[in-house]
Structure 1
Amino acid sequence: MIKAILIFNNHGKPRMSKFYEHYTEDTEQQIIRETFHLVSKRDENVCNFLEGGLLIGGSENKLIYRHYATLYFVFCVDSSESELGILDLIQVFVETLDKCFENVCELDLIFHLDKVHNILAEMVMGGMVLETNMSEIITQVEAQGKMEKSETLTLLFICQSMGQSQASRFSSKYLKLCSEDEQSFYGFGTTCG
């Protein structure tokens, strides 16, 4: 079972974390720091598996990671998971991110964290691997994106039919979800009304 999925940069700044067991927020932060120190001090030419840190279960768990450019992708797993299978899963995750963001970089993870979590949710749920087929994952994420855009446009049309005072309270939140071209195409300015 997958216990946690962590992404952090070369300086230890967390860019994404997903825990499949309950920990307090302080403990989660300590796990991230401990994992960074364990993984970052290793040479590039050693294997990508190591014993888990004390906070995440010690020798009962493993840390399986890959280092891409400025980011570490770390999966904390129990002994029932295959190390090579998890390495492949990390590769599929990164390649999927790369396809969805057209050459993914650290800034994509910072500014589109919700989409990163959606991609991950198509692959892993409750610590169990659901899907490893990149085409299927991308299809589901694109369908979800279309549905979100449709909901946004529906809300914008509702907003347009409201009075100025009601609409201005929540319009700016939903207008951020549409590009400027879409806003002008549908006749919206910076506020509804």
Structure 2
Amino acid sequence: MILAALIMNTQGKPRITKFYDHVSVERQQEILRVVYSVLSSRSGNLCSFVEADDIFGPDTKLVYKHFATLYFVFVIDSAESELGILDLIQVFVETLDRCFKNVCELDIVYNFGKVHTILDEIVMGGQVVETSSAEVMKAVQDIWKLERVGELNPANIRGIGHYKNSRS
């Protein structure tokens, strides 16, 4: 299972954090500090897997890729394949590149909602649900199209909108 997905810059500032189990805000901040400390101290020629027993408990690993000024990090348990997660990170970054035309840190900062939508199309509840960048983009574009026309506005969701209209 995927326990967390993190994007942080090379100064340790978190840009996207998604924990798939309940973790208190204080614990999340502590985790981010420790993860950054571990990643920033590693040489570029080392593998992209790090044991994370001290951070998340037994049989956990950090799987990460460093692109330009960003670290893309997935925290996994022993049920996940490290190489599979590296491929998943590649799919995530390729999808972001397709969406933002050579994604950079500012794209993530100013479009965090879109980034979360893309991540949610790839991983849901800690389980991988889609590994095709093209399929993810198609689903995300459909969601954004619905948001633009207002069909995903909470007032228009069945039940809420119906209740409002029936009282008018």
1:156-175 paired onto structure 2 within 5 Å: none
**In the aligned structure 2, how far is the partner of 1:2 from the partner of 1:109?**
21
Aligned to 1:45: 45
Q: CA deviation at 1:104?
A: 0.4
| Other structure's SS at 1:44 match | coil
1:106-117 paired onto structure 2 within 5 Å: 106-117=105-116
> Is the counterpart of residue 75 in structure 1 residue 74 in structure 2?
yes
**In the aligned structure 2, how far is the partner of 1:130 from the partner of 1:79?**
18
1:29-178 paired onto structure 2 within 5 Å: 29-52=29-52, 54-57=54-57, 59-151=58-150
Deviations 1:26-76 (A, max 9, x none): 00110011011111110000100010152322x410000000000000000
Point out where structure 2 has 5 or more consecutive residues left out of the alignment: 154-168
| Other structure's SS at 2:93 match | helix
Aligned to 2:6: 6
* Coordinate RMSD, CA, aligned: 1.2
Aligned residue pairs total: 152
Q: Rg bigger for which structure?
A: 1
> Is the counterpart of residue 19 in structure 1 residue 19 in structure 2?
yes
Deviations 1:112-152 (A, max 9, x none): 00000000000000000000011110000001111111018
Maintained 8 Å contact 1:34/1:53: no
| Other structure's SS at 1:7 match | strand
**In the aligned structure 1, how far is the partner of 2:102 from the partner of 2:79?**
33
Letter matched to residue 85 of structure 1: G
**In the aligned structure 2, how far is the partner of 1:8 from the partner of 1:149?**
29
Could you say if the C-alpha distance between residues 122 and 18 of structure 1 is closer, same or farther in structure 2, counting changes exceeding 3 Å? same
**In the aligned structure 1, how far is the partner of 2:52 from the partner of 2:147?**
38
| Other structure's SS at 2:89 match | helix
Q: Segments of 4+ in structure 1 off by > 3 A?
A: none
Percent identity of paired positions between Structure 1 and Structure 2:
53
| Other structure's SS at 1:74 match | strand
Question: How does the TM-score come out when normalised to structure 1?
Answer: 0.77
Question: How does the TM-score come out when normalised to structure 2?
Answer: 0.88
Deviations 1:69-121 (A, max 9, x none): 00000000001110100000000000000000111000011000000000000
Point out where structure 1 has 5 or more consecutive residues left out of the alignment: 155-193
**In the aligned structure 2, how far is the partner of 1:50 from the partner of 1:13?**
20
**In the aligned structure 2, how far is the partner of 1:26 from the partner of 1:89?**
28
Maintained 8 Å contact 1:31/1:53: no
